[in-house]
Amino acid sequence: MEIDPFIFRLSIFILSIFIGYYVVWSVTPSLHTPLMSVTNAISSVIIVGAIIAGLAGNSDNEFTTSNILGFLAISLAAVNIFGGFLVTQRMLQMYKKKKKDK
Amino acid sequence: MSANLSAIFYLISGVLFILALRGLSSPETSRQGNFFGILGMTIAITVTFLSVGSFSSGLIYVLIFLLIGGLIGAFIAYKIPMTAMPELVAGFHSLVGLSAVLVAVSAFLNPEAFNLGSQGSIKLASLIEMSIGAAVGAITFSGSIIAFLKLQGIMSGSPITFRGQHLLNALLLISILALTYLLCSTQSSNFFWVLLAVSFLIGFLLIIPIGGADMPVVISMLNSYSGWAAAGIGFTLENSALIITGALVGSSGAILSYIMCKGMNRSFFNVILGGFGASEQSSSSGDKEHRPVKNGNAEDAAFLMKNASSVIIVPGYGMAVAQAQHALREMVDTLKKNDIKVTYAIHPVAGRMPGHMNVLLAEANVPYDEVFELEEINNDFANADVAFVIGANDVTNPAAKNDPQSPIYGMPVLDVEKCKSVLFVKRSLSPGYAGIDNDLFYKENTLMLFADAKKMTEDITKNL
């Protein structure tokens, strides 16, 4: 009997939850704010779906509602991707160790 | 690009996202982690473009919208003050939620583009996944908007409750299930729209009863939701990068919510059901007597600290509101010049989001190895000369340890009272969000400094 591909995706999903569980517990509490901003940025990988929606179908210049919703989703996700990674970068740059001489 | 090849690349970007989170286990590896995240995202986006292959005239629009969004995002990232991080994160969550909704709707309207069957006969599994993604996305969106408005102060931070609230929420949640069932059995788009509308409403209703100081839990919870929404869409699109990321973000947010709840010694459901701080306030205000407090000024505080050999600083939300972190750091610099040992003690729920205080101190150039978590530093209070409490209140309240009647009884608190003397910078004697009095204010060795946190800190520095 063949296994439905859904089961494979479900396996990836469940295993990723476990990976997430162990990885996030190892995050140091002082970096919890950057953790939130970076998870914010990576969850915007949903832009993948938005790009597919935006590029779907038609070769002529007419856009379907589906295309337009895709465009909107692209810009929303892009705000998040750029904003999320850059603000994380900005925060992480501030975490410095004590300088010995001073 | 073949479907198999792109699936492998999506897997790679999923792995890079795992490494991005892994990097955050210490500040040294964190920047590398962020780089992995960016790399993963770049791969995912590039592969998507390549796998679509034939470029229609839509491509130019896709790029334009990508650019517009990117510029707005970059602008916000550079402009935003660090004190506004909670609002920013809440705002970003709402965008993830909304884009999940838009992608789901777009897939619903044009299922062929996503290989989900044709309109009116979308595959059952896809339809269920789509409904979950859209519903969770919509809840994330409206919930985050409310959280944003509360954090920004546009909407009052006090809980909004009404009778039958929980019943209404429960009914709405059940109706979501019913609507999903109807949608799947009839394929009628009307049910899909109603499903979306109900989900938006739930997000709104879920967050309004939760008070301002419970925001750390709310933000973490919405973080988690945005992950589950992404995962739901990931199943619809059969995209492993999205599924992995969704699961990572979902569990990350859930763990943070758990940590925050533990920091307040409250169950998750207790926070979610809301209304905290509204009912207790009325019961405790009745028997409030006016007890004398020792009122000090900057000179007294400077004198106390100058004669100390070790000082522990306890920052709280008030420091963020007054933007006092830089002034605080200057004060500490002066203290250090006088060979006084200074450390910082951070309570898990200090501020309005997890790690809020750490970021503010980092912004003010406080080295992270001088900043300690509750468990690490709590024993040191007994040996310290001065505790300088700036903008914190409930997290220092000894009632959590010795008054079983107190609403915060059992909450882990910083043992500030064990210090030889305590300095409290506060604007007034008003109780904290829990609406309870803090016995520390009236202790023999406590000196209250009633002023704006920033101004007081600057004045103390002048007097040192």
| pLDDT in the model for residue A58 | 59
pLDDT in tens, chain A (102 residues): 788 888 999 999 999 999 999 999 999 988 999 999 999 999 999 999 999 888 877 556 677 888 889 999 999 999 999 999 999 999 998 887 765 443
CA distance B340 to B308: 7
Residues of B in contact with A102 (CB under 8 A): none
Tokens 């309109």 belong to which residue?
Answer: B119
CA distance A38 to B78: 15
Vertex B346 angle, CA B344 and B348, to 5°: 170
| pLDDT in the model for residue A37 | 93
Is B74 within 8 Å of A82 when comparing Cβ atoms? yes
Of B21, B26, B113, the CB nearest to A53: B113
For chain B positions 293-312, those within 8 Å of chain A (CB to CB) are none
Do B195 and B134 form a contact (C-beta atoms < 8 A)?
A: yes
Q: Is residue B333 annotated as a catalytic residue, yes or no?
A: no
Do B40 and B9 form a contact (C-beta atoms < 8 A)?
A: no
To the nearest whole angstrom, how far is the Cα of B175 from the nearest Cα of chain A? Answer: 26
Do B217 and B121 form a contact (C-beta atoms < 8 A)?
A: no
To the nearest whole angstrom, how far is the Cα of A4 from the nearest Cα of chain B? Answer: 11
| pLDDT in the model for residue B329 | 92
Chains A–B, number of C-beta pairs less than 8 Å apart: 394
pLDDT in tens, chain B (464 residues): 788 899 999 999 999 999 999 999 998 899 999 999 999 999 999 999 888 866 667 788 889 999 999 999 999 999 998 888 999 999 999 999 999 999 999 999 888 888 887 877 788 888 898 999 999 999 999 999 999 998 888 887 777 777 788 888 889 989 999 998 888 888 888 899 999 999 999 999 888 888 777 888 889 999 999 999 999 999 988 888 999 999 999 999 999 999 988 888 878 777 777 655 444 443 344 444 567 778 888 888 888 888 888 999 999 888 888 888 999 999 999 989 888 999 999 998 888 888 889 999 998 989 888 999 988 898 888 888 999 999 888 888 888 888 887 777 888 889 888 888 888 888 877 766 666 778 888 888 888 888 888 888 888 888 87
Residue of B nearest to A102 (CA): B337
Catalytic residue among B339, B385, B394, B437: B394
> Is A25 within 8 Å of chain B by CB?
yes
CA distance B295 to B57: 71
| pLDDT in the model for residue B278 | 44
> Is A22 within 8 Å of chain B by CB?
no
To the nearest whole angstrom, how far is the Cα of B35 from the nearest Cα of chain A? Answer: 9
Residue of A nearest to B376 (CA): A29
> Is A3 within 8 Å of chain B by CB?
no
CA distance B172 to B166: 10
| pLDDT in the model for residue B140 | 94
Is A36 within 8 Å of B74 when comparing Cβ atoms? no
Do B75 and A78 form a contact (C-beta atoms < 8 A)?
A: no
| pLDDT in the model for residue B277 | 47
How many C-beta atoms surround the C-beta of residue B81 within 10 A? 12
